[in-house]
Every structure is written in structure tokens, then in C-alpha cells.
């Protein structure tokens, strides 16, 4: 079962519909016990970092999220769901993230001609071609972004990057944990291929 985490911070239905269309057995839930039955988890998200952390705490979801990730089962964070995997964000000073990936989320610097948020289509530059999310995805494929904050390009965790005034992490990969800054559910055929790759990613045998 693929669990899509409901914590009141995203358009869950568009993610769920895309995954269902790709053949996944989807459950949308914000209950901590839902993780007990999940083989894979997607943490989507749209909105502010601090508000998201507060909602996760209120709904008692932080411990189940960390426990699921530690189980080595496949996990995907989308947009704000990626940013929450980091230690902290400039958007909410003093508010800790899940700290699954080291580093801090920063705001795009103001530059002449650069509109913030970064909104629209941009090209992926795949840095880890062995990343399972990008199996069959061509270099320079376009995907859809909506965000004002970003993770800087990260050494071994960086799976794909993009450029918008600065180079930033478009996708991260660390063991069983995947994260994408773009919205695959809004990225047409390329996004659906990436979601399909996650859905088809093998579940470890205990």
C-alpha cells in the first residue's frame, strides 16, 4: 500500500489521482497508525515550512515519519515534503525539520529580472543517472516548479539540479529516501514517469 500523508498542507487529490492512474494501491491518511500498513510513503506539501512542522507535530506524525524512513522502505518527499527532510529553513528560524538530510533551506536571493517564487517549467540536469527515479527520463527534461525556497546543490545526496539565479537541488536521493522540489503530478509525461519509477521501486524484504 502507498500512503500519501495528509497533514493539511497540499493538494493531496492530484497526487493520489496520478498514482492511482499509474496502478498504485493508494491510501490518503493523516493518522499515525496508517504508517503501520504502508509499503511506501509520499509526503507532499505546499505552503510554509514552520506551519508544516507545526501540523506534523499536532497530528503526531513526526515519529511515524522518522520510523518509516528508518525502516528502509521507499519514501518520497514532494516540494515542501522535500524541504521538510532537511535540518532547518530560513523561512522558519528556530524550527527544526526532520533532519533526515543534512543542510538548510534558503530563500532565493533577490536579483534583477528574477521573479520569486520560481514558478513554471524548468530543465532537470541529472547528476546521478543511477537514481531509480530517473530511469528512462532524458537529460534536460522539463518539470514544473512552484517555490520560493530551495536546497542548495548537495554533494552525494544531489540526484538532479536546476538553475534559477542559483543552482539548487531539484531532486535528492539518500538510500531509500527520495525528494523532488518540483511537482511530478503537474509535470505531464515526465512527472508521471518519475512517479511510476517510485511506485515500481522494490520494497526491501525483511
183 is catalytic: yes
**Of 19, 87, 185, 206, which is the active-site residue?**
185
**Orientation of helix 12-21 relative to helix 188-200, angle to 10°:** 70
Which position has the grid cell 515526465?
190
- Measuring CA to CA, how many Å separate 187 from each of 8, 32, 42, 195? 22, 30, 17, 10
Residues facing 143 on adjacent strands: 122
What is the 8-class DSSP label of residue 152? B
Nearest to residue 186, comparing CAs of 142, 133, 125, 151? Answer: 142
Residue 2 near residue 26, CB atoms below 8 Å: yes
> Is 33 considered catalytic here?
no
Known active-site residue 37: no
Nearest to 182 by CA among 126, 122, 128, 136: 122
Per the DSSP assignment, residues forming a β-bridge with 122 are 143
CB 72 within 8 A of CB 204: yes
Distance CA 202, CA 121 (A): 30
Of the candidates 19, 79, 131, 162, the residue annotated as catalytic is 79
Give residue for cell 508521471.
192
Catalytic residues: 79, 183, 185
Amino acid at each position: 500500500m502507498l500512503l500519501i500523508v495528509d497533514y493539511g498542507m497540499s493538494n493531496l487529490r492530484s497526487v493520489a489521482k496520478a498514482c492511482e492512474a499509474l496502478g498504485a494501491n493508494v491510501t490518503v491518511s493523516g493518522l499515525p497508525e496508517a504508517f503501520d500498513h504502508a509499503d511506501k510513503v509520499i509526503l507532499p506539501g505546499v505552503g510554509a515550512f514552520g506551519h508544516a512542522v507545526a501540523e506534523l507535530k499536532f497530528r503526531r506524525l513526526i515519529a511515524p515519519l522518522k520510523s518509516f524512513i528508518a525502516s528502509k522502505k521507499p519514501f518520497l518527499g514532494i516540494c515542501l515534503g522535500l524541504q521538510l527532510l532537511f535540518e532547518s529553513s530560513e523561512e522558519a528560524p528556530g524550527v527544526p525539520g526532520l533532519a533526515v538530510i543534512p543542510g538548510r533551506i534558503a530563500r532565493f536571493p533577490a536579483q534583477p529580472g528574477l521573479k520569486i517564487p520560481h514558478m513554471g517549467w524548468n530543465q532537470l540536469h541529472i547528476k546521478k543517472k543511477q537514481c531509480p527515479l530517473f530511469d528512462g527520463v532524458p537529460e534536460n527534461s522539463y518539470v514544473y516548479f512552484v517555490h520560493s525556497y530551495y536546497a542548495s546543490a548537495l554533494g552525494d545526496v544531489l540526484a538532479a539540479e536546476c538553475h534559477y539565479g542559483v543552482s539548487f537541488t531539484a531532486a535528492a536521493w539518500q538510500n531509500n529516501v527520495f525528494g523532488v522540489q518540483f511537482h511530478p503530478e503537474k509535470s505531464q509525461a515526465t512527472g508521471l514517469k518519475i512517479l511510476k519509477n517510485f511506485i515500481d521501486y522494490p520494497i526491501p524484504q525483511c
